[in-house]
Every structure is written in structure tokens, then in C-alpha cells.
Chains A and B, each alone.
Chain A
Amino acid sequence: MAGAEGFVEADNAEAIMIRIEHKTRKIESLLKQYKPVEALRTALEGTHAMTRDERCKSAHWIVVHRALMAIKDVDGMLSSLDSEYYDILMKYLYKGLSTGDRPTCEQCLRIHEKLTERAGFGCILRQKLAFQGTALPMYCKRDGLFPQHMQRSYFSM
């Protein structure tokens, strides 16, 4: 997972919004150069930052959504994307699937199938079936499903 070795505790929502704006400009320029995979990678970076601000979460989603919809070759994209991005990508795929918007759902379903083949069921379980409560259940700590350094970042969505 990108930045898993040191997730950033970001209290300043404004700083995150400014970063997202810079990212949006960079993504638009990459898409104009027909580099959708780089655009998606840029969009997924930094989204692990811990924030409870809904505006930041929405802004992250909008940026990732823009990059996701530009992907035409899913197999090529997954081959080029590092495996550390798989968990974050799965998180955003489920967010896209919950929107109900037909084109978004179709694209997310296409990517979800291929990503599951590559990353396995653990990716689904870690990312979207993360926990509502503030304490991880004992059985997950014991089974090592959530390694210590990743635990806090799973609450950001």
C-alpha cells in the first residue's frame, strides 16, 4: 500500500485540499498526454492520509474517479500499477460501485474482476470490509489480517 510504511496524520483539511488541487492539475495534464496509468497512480497517492473531513474524502474520490474513468485497457493498467496500490484501488472501486451511476459502476465492475484475479480475496476483505468500531476485533489482530502498521489507515474511508 502506497505510503503504508508511514501514513501521514493530516489534521489540516485545508492543506489536504490544496494538495488535491495540485494533484488535479497534474492528472489533467497526464490525461492530455494519454498517460492514464500515471494519472491513476498520481490520484491514488496520498489518499491514505488520515482525515475525517468529508470534503477531503469527496475531493479524493472525485480525483480518483476522473482517473478511473479514463482507463481503457484494464489489463495493461494493472500490469503497470505497483501491487502496493491494489488495496487503495479496491477501496475506491467499492466506493464507485456504491454510487449507482451506470457508467461508473460498469467501469468499476470491469476493473474489480481483473483486480480480484491479481490481488486475491484478501484485498477485498482488507479494504472494503474494514471495521466500524474503533477497536479491531481480537480475532483479526490474532490472525494478522491487519498488520500493525496498516491498522490506522484502514479507518480513513
Chain B
Amino acid sequence: MASTLRLYLTCIRNTLEAAMCLQNFPCQEVERHNKPEVELKTSPELLLNPVLICRNEAEKCLIETSINSLRISLKVKQADELENILTKKFLRFLSMRAEAFQVLRRKPVQGYDISFLITNYHCEEMQKHKLIDFIVQFMEDIDKEISELKMSANTRGRLVATEFLKQFI
């Protein structure tokens, strides 16, 4: 299991390393505008084929690239209903604070839990390998966070139930 995770993250790292070749490209449609082409998708010659990397049926990563921007969408493993709710709440909490992360998208792409948008400006201000390290580290940490949240929710639930039911003994 751990080895599959390592292979999955290595594959994503290598793909991002190859895909993150971004350059400044002003909008072809509107003069004096500069927009991330991966979001607009108006000019097919500026887009590359999206890459879908699945670890299994539940976990996948979609990498869409264009000439001046790159979008990474993640679907996190959710084993049961509780994990589903916790993941949704936690990732929504992060997405609401997208400005602090700079590369985070406010709304995830349809069918995914969280999305990142990296533009050529981010690549100019920040180091490419650090950006990739951040994405990969995020993917590792998110699983641990969700597991900890689930354990803490179960522990709290058990304590509350024990205390409540004591009055009936």
C-alpha cells in the first residue's frame, strides 16, 4: 500500500516536472489582457492533452496544461460517509482561504475535491521544484489530516455517548 502511494506520488511529480514549462502569453482574443488559458480553453492550439493519473478507483489526479498555466485537480480517497463529510468540510475550509495559498483554486473542478492553478507568474516568483514539492507534500499530508480528523471525531463521539448513557445506568 505504501509502495503504491510512493509510486503514485513519483508519477505525479515526474509529470508535473515535465508539464510545468510555462511562459507568459497574452490573451489572443482581447488585447492588453493576460488570462490563464487552461481556464478559458478558447484556443485549442494553446492547450495540451489533459493527463489523468489514477492510483485506484477512488484516488486520481488530473493535470491540465496550457502555454501559460497549469491546473491540478485531486480526488482524495474517501472510504466511508464520515470521511466523505470530513474531506468536503476540510477542503472547503482550505479553498475559502485560497489567497493565502496563492496557487489554490477557490472552487475545485467538477468531479474532484480540490484544485490548484499555477500560472507563469507563480513560476517566475517561486521556484518550480518548490511548487512541485508543495503539491506532492500536500497530497501526502491530506490523507494524514483526514485520518486524524476521523479518529478525533470517533473519539469525541464515544466520549459523548458514554457520558450521555451513564445517566440511564
**B19 contacts across to A, CB distance below 8 A:** 124-125, 129
Binding site for B on A (CB under 8 A): 94, 97-102, 105-106, 109-110, 112-113, 116, 121-122, 124-125, 128-133, 135-137, 139
On chain B, the number of residues with a Cβ less than 8 Å from chain A's Cβ atoms is 29
Q: Would A113 and B11 count as touching, CB distance under 8 A?
A: yes
**Nearest 4 pairs of A and B residues by beta carbon:** A133-B44, A109-B7, A124-B18, A133-B45
Q: Which residue of B lies closest to A154 (CB)?
A: B49
Q: Would A130 and B14 count as touching, CB distance under 8 A?
A: no
Interface presence of B52 (CB below 8 A): yes
Binding site for A on B (CB under 8 A): 4, 7-8, 10-11, 14-15, 17-19, 21, 23, 43-49, 51-57, 60, 65, 67
**B53 contacts across to A, CB distance below 8 A:** 94, 97-98
Task: Pull 14 A–B residue pairs with CB atoms less than 8 Å apart, ordered by A.
Answer: A97-B52, A98-B52, A98-B53, A98-B54, A100-B57, A102-B57, A113-B7, A113-B11, A125-B19, A130-B48, A130-B49, A131-B45, A136-B45, A139-B67
Q: Would B23 and A139 count as touching, CB distance under 8 A?
A: yes
State the CA gap A113–B7 with chains docked (Å): 7
In the complex, how many angstroms separate the beta carbon of B123 from the nearest chain A beta carbon? 15
Q: Would A137 and B45 count as touching, CB distance under 8 A?
A: yes
- The verdict on A109 contacting B8 (CB below 8 Å), with A102-B56, A125-B19 known, is yes
**A131 contacts across to B, CB distance below 8 A:** 44-45, 47-49
**B14 contacts across to A, CB distance below 8 A:** 112-113, 116, 121, 124
